[in-house]
C-alpha cells in the first residue's frame, strides 16, 4: 500500500512531541508540588503529574499502533483539559497560560489535519471564556476582555498553522512523489544493469566464438595462400613455356616455318598472354580479398611510369592499331607510389580503351591540380550505359553489350585498379557517353616533403 509520506512524518513528530511535552508538564507540576506543601492548592498539579503521563502514554502507544489521528486527538483533548483545569484554578488577569493553547493548535495542525488547528482554536477559545467566567463568577468585564488578546494571537497562530501545514503537506507529498519516481527509475536501472550483465555474458561467449572463427579463418587463409602460390607456380610455368616456345618457333629458330604456321604460333602466343593476364588478375583479386595486398612505396617518377605503360600496351596485339596520344603537364609532380602497381593500373585502363575502341583515338592525360595529380585515359569507343557506371567497379561485373561481349575479359580489371589506387590514397572516377567514348581518371596525391605524409594519412 502506498502510505502518504506526510502521515509517516506525523507519526514521527507525535512519537517525539507527546513524551517531550508530557515530560515538561510533569517536571513543572513536580516543582510546583514541591514548593507548595498545601495539597488543596496544588491538586491540579497532582492530577497533571499522575494522570497526564498515563493518557500521554496511551496516546503514544496508539501512535505506535499506527492510529495516529486518534492518538493525537486524545493527547490534544487531555492537554486542553489539564490546561483549562490550571486556568480555572489559578486564573489571574494577564496570565500567560491561555497562550499555551497555541502550542496545541500548532501540534494538531501538524499531526492530525491542517483544518483541526482552527477547530482546536475555536474550542479552546470558547472553553477558555466559559471556564474563566464559571470559575470566577465575580470576574470583572475588564478582566474578561483581557482574554481577547491571547484568543486573537491564538487565532492568527491557527491561521498560520493551517496554511503552513497545508504547504508542508503539499511539499512533503511532492518530495515523496519525486522519491517514488527516483525509486522506480533506480529499479529500472537495476533491471537494465542486469540485462547489460546478461548481454555482456552473451557478448563474451560471442567473442570467444569470433576468436575461434578468426583462428579458423587464419588457418583457412594460410591454406588458400599456399594453394594460390601452388596454382600460380604450376600454371604460370607451363604457360610461360608455351608462349616462349611459340615465340621461338614462330621466328624460325628451330627450322623454317611457313606463313600459316607463323599465324598459328602467333595465335598460341596471344592466347598464352591472355591466359597469363587473366591468371594474374585472379591472383591479385585473391590477394586483395585476403587482405594481403601490399604496396612497395617509393618516390616515383610518374612520367617514366606513364611511358612504360604506353610502351607495354602498344606491344600487346589488339585488333585496332590506334596510336596513343598524350597530354602531359610541363612539370611532373613527385608521387609516393608503387611504380609497378601504378603502371598496372594505367595499363588496365589503356588496355580497356583499346578493347572497347575500334576507331577514333585514345589519349593519356596527366593534369596537376594541387594537391592531386589526375591521370586520365580517354577513348572514343563504345562508351558505357549510365546505369552501369557505378557497377563496373564491382568484381566480375561486365556489361552485356554486343560489342563488349566479343572482347574477352575477367571483369576484374577495374575492381583491381580501384583497389590499387585507393591503396595509394587516391580514387578512381569515370565519365562516359554511350556510343561516344569514356574518360577514366585516376587521382593520386602529390607527395609533399614538408608534410612528410605517409600513405596511411592520405587515406
* Contact residues: ligand ADP, CB under 6 A: 352-353, 356, 379, 381-384, 392, 398-399, 404, 409-414, 438
- Tell me which residue of 277, 355, 344, 365 sits closest to 322, measured CA to CA: 355
The set of cell numbers assigned to 387 is: 546505369
For the bound state, the minimum distance from the C-beta of residue 219 to ligand ADP, rounded and expressed in Å, comes to: 31
CB-based contact 93:143 (threshold 8 Å)? yes
What crossing angle do the helices spanning 43-50 and 5-35 adopt, rounded to 10°?
140
Name the residue nearer to ligand ADP (CB basis): 44 or 381: 381
Which CB, 193 or 317, lies closer to ligand ADP? 317
Residue 247 vs 431, nearer CB to ligand ADP? 431
Which CB, 108 or 441, lies closer to ligand ADP?
A: 441
**Residues listed for the chain:** 459
Q: State in Å, rounded, how far the first CA of the chain is from the last one.
A: 65
Give CA–CA dist 322/317, Å, rounded. Answer: 11
Compare residues 271 and 410 and give the one whose CB is closer to ligand ADP. 410
Query: Which residue is closest to ligand ADP by CB?
Result: 409
H-only helix segments in 251-338: 259-289, 302-315
Instruction: Name the minimum Å distance from CB 259 to ligand ADP.
Output: 32
Query: Least CB distance from residue 292 to ligand ADP, whole Å?
Result: 21
Q: How far is the CB of 340 from ligand ADP (least distance, A)?
A: 18
Cβ burial, residue 445 (10 Å; 0-12/13-18/19+): buried
Residue 208 burial class via C-beta count within 10 angstroms: exposed 0-12, middle 13-18, buried 19 and up: exposed
Q: Report, in Å, the least distance between residue 350 CB and ligand ADP.
A: 9
State the nearest-atom distance from the C-beta of 414 to ligand ADP, in Å.
3
In angstroms, what is the minimal distance from the CB of 280 to ligand ADP?
12
* Maximum separation of any 2 CA atoms in the chain, in Å: 165
Nearer to ligand ADP, 423 or 438 (CB): 438
Per-residue buried b or exposed e for 48-65, using 16+ beta carbons within 10 Å of the residue's own CB = bbeebbebbeebbebbee
Q: Pick between residue 84 and residue 347 the one whose CB is nearest to ligand ADP.
A: 347
Amino acid at each position: 500500500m502506498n502510505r502518504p509520506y506526510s502521515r509517516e512524518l506525523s507519526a514521527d513528530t507525535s512519537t517525539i512531541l507527546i513524551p517531550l511535552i508530557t515530560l515538561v508538564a510533569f517536571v513543572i507540576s513536580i516543582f510546583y508540588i514541591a514548593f507548595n506543601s498545601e495539597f488543596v492548592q496544588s491538586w491540579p498539579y497532582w492530577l497533571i503529574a499522575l494522570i497526564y503521563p498515563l493518557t500521554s502514554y496511551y496516546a503514544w502507544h496508539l501512535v505506535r499502533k499506527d492510529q495516529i489521528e486518534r492518538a493525537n486527538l486524545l493527547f490534544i483533548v487531555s492537554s486542553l483539559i489539564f490546561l483549562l483545569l490550571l486556568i480555572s484554578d489559578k486564573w489571574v488577569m494577564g496570565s500567560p497560560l491561555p497562550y499555551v493553547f497555541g502550542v496545541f493548535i500548532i501540534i494538531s495542525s501538524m499531526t492530525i489535519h491542517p483544518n483541526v488547528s482552527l477547530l482546536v482554536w475555536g474550542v479552546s477559545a470558547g472553553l477558555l471564556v466559559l471556564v474563566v467566567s464559571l470559575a470566577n463568577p465575580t470576574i470583572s468585564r475588564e478582566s474578561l476582555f483581557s482574554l481577547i488578546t491571547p484568543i486573537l494571537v491564538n487565532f492568527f497562530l491557527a491561521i498560520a498553522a493551517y496554511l503552513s501545514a497545508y504547504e508542508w503537506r503539499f511539499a512533503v507529498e511532492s518530495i515523496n512523489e519525486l522519491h517514488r519516481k527516483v525509486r522506480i527509475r533506480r529499479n529500472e536501472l537495476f533491471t537494465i544493469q542486469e540485462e547489460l550483465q546478461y548481454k555482456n555474458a552473451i557478448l563474451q561467449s560471442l567473442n570467444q566464438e569470433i576468436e575461434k572463427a578468426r583462428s579458423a579463418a587464419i588457418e583457412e587463409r594460410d591454406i588458400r595462400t599456399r594453394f594460390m602460390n601452388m596454382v600460380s607456380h604450376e600454371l604460370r610455368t607451363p604457360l610461360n613455356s608455351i608462349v616462349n616456345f611459340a615465340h621461338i618457333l614462330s621466328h624460325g629458330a628451330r627450322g623454317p616455318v611457313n606463313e600459316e604456321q607463323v599465324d598459328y604460333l602467333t595465335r598460341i602466343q596471344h592466347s598464352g598472354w591472355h591466359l597469363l593476364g587473366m591468371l594474374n588478375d585472379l591472383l591479385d583479386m585473391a590477394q586483395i580479398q585476403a587482405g594481403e595486398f601490399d604496396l612497395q612505396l617509393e618516390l616515383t617518377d610518374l612520367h617514366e611510369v606513364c611511358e612504360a605503360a604506353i610502351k607495354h600496351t602498344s606491344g600487346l596485339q589488339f585488333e585496332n592499331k590506334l596510336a596513343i596520344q598524350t597530354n602531359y603537364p610541363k612539370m611532373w609532380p613527385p608521387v609516393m607510389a608503387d611504380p609497378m602497381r601504378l603502371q598496372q593500373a594505367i595499363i588496365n585502363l589503356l588496355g580497356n580503351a583499346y578493347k572497347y575502341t575500334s576507331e577514333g583515338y585514345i589519349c593519356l592525360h596527366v593534369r596537376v591540380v594541387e594537391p592531386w595529380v589526375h591521370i586520365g585515359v580517354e577513348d572514343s569507343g563504345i562508351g558505357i550505359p549510365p546505369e552501369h557506371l557505378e557497377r563496373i567497379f564491382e568484381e566480375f561485373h561486365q556489361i552485356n553489350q554486343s560489342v563488349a561481349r566479343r572482347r574477352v575479359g575477367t571483369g576484374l580489371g577495374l575492381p583491381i585498379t580501384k583497389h590499387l589506387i585507393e591503396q595509394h590514397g587516391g580514387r578512381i572516377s569515370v565519365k562516359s557517353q554511350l556510343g561516344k567514348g569514356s574518360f577514366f581518371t585516376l587521382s593520386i596525391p602529390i607527395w609533399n616533403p614538408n608534410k612528410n605524409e605517409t600513405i596511411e594519412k592520405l587515406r
